[in-house]
Chain A
Amino acid sequence: MPKRIRLDKAIVTANDRLAAELADTYDQAGVLVVNLMSSPGAGKTSLLEATARGLADRFRMACIDGDLATDRDAQRIQRAGMPCTQINTGGGCHLNGKQVRDALDAHRLDRLDILFIENVGNLVCPAVFDLGEHRRVVVSSTPEGDDKPIKYPVAFRMADGVVLNKMDMVDATDFSVEAFRGYVADIKPSLSIIEVSCKTGDGLVGWFQWVAEARDALSRKAAPGAE
C-alpha cells in the first residue's frame, strides 16, 4: 500500500552543522570572522598583508589561510605582522568547517578582534561551504575580466562585500568598471564594491573602513544599548 509523506525539509549537511557550531564559538569569543574568497591570484594575500600593516594599531588580528600546498601565503601574512595558520587541503578545493575548527586551536580567539579566513583560490566551491563567518568578501581583480560576477553568481550573491583589486592595472586591460558594477548590481544591488590597489595602496582606506564598520556592528550586537 503506497503512501506519500510530505517533509519539505532543507538538506542539512555535516558542514552546515559545524558552521553553526563555529558561529557560536566566534560569538562567544566576541571575534569578528571575515571569510575571503576569490579566483587564484586575485590578491587575497596581498589584501591581508596590507590589512596587517594598515590596521595593526587599531585591532588585534589573526588569519587562517587555505591552500592546496605550501605555507607561502601564511609566511607572507606573518611577515606583515599578522599571526597566521596555514591549512594545506591537499587536493581540496575549499576550506570546510572541520579544517577551520582544527586550526582555531592555534589562536586565542578571546584575545582577538578580527579573524580572517583566506579561502582556497576558487569561486565555485568555497561559496557553498559556510564556515560560520560573520562577513563574506569576494576579491576580484581587473586582469580577470569584468564578467566574473555573472560567471560566478552564487559566490557574489552570498557575499557581503566585494573588493576590486589591481585598479593600478585597469588601463592595461579591457576591464570596464562600469560593466563590473552593473553585473554586481544585477546579482545583488546592496553589495558594496571597494576599488583598491594593494600594490600602490590606493583605495585601501575604504577597505579598512569597511572592516572597522563590520567590527563595530558586531560589538553593537554583543552589547546592545552600550553606545
Chain B
Amino acid sequence: MDRDNRDSDVNEAVDVWQLLDQIPAEPTNSDAMRLRFQAALHVERQRVRWRAARWALTAAAALVLLASGIVIGRTTTTPPMPDATLVELRQELRDMRQMVTLSLLQQQSATERLRGVTFTSQIDRPGSAIVSALLDTLMHDSNVNVRLASIDALKRFTDRADVRRAALDGLTQQTSPLVQIALIDLMVELNDRGALDTLQRLSRDAEVNEAVRQRAAWSLQRIG
C-alpha cells in the first residue's frame, strides 16, 4: 500500500469516528425502568428480612427439637415406627404447614401475610385451599407488595386454568401499575395468546397508567 492510500485510510477512519458521535442516543424511559427496579429491590429486601427471621426461627426450633429428642430418647424406649405411621405423620406435617400458611395469609399485618405467601413455596404438593388463598390474595389484598409476591408464588400453578383466568382478570381489575406490569410480564412469560385482546385494550386505554400502557404494547410484540 502506498503512502497516499495509507493517509486516505487514516483520514476516513477519523471521519467515521467523528460521524459516530452524531448518531443520537435512543430516548430513555427512566421512570418506567426506575419503577421496575424499585419493585425488584423492595421484593429482595423483604426476602432478605424474611430469610434472616426464618434462619433464627429454624435454629431455635432445631435446638428445641434436639433437646426434646434427647430427653424423650433417654426416658422412653419406642419400637421402630411402621411405614404407615410415617406416611401419616408426613401428611399431618403437610396439613399443619398448610394451616399455618392459611393462617398467616389472614393476618392483619402485611409482613405476616407476605410471610404466608413466601411460605407457600415450602409446601410440597399444596392443596387447592392454598391456591385459592393465593388467588384471593392477588385479587383482594390491600398491600401491593403482598399482591406482587402472590404473583411470584402463583407461577407454580400456571398450568391451572383458574390461575390463568385470575391473572388475566387481574390485568384490568388491579389498580396498582406495579401489579399490572408484573401480570403483563407473567403473560409474556407464559406466552399466553389468550391475553392478546386484553393487552391490546390496555395498551390503548387512555385511562390506564402510561408505564402500563407501554408495557402492554411491548408485550403484544413479544407474545406470538
Asked if A pairs with B, the answer is: no
Taking beta carbons and an 8 Å cutoff, which residues of A are in contact with B? none
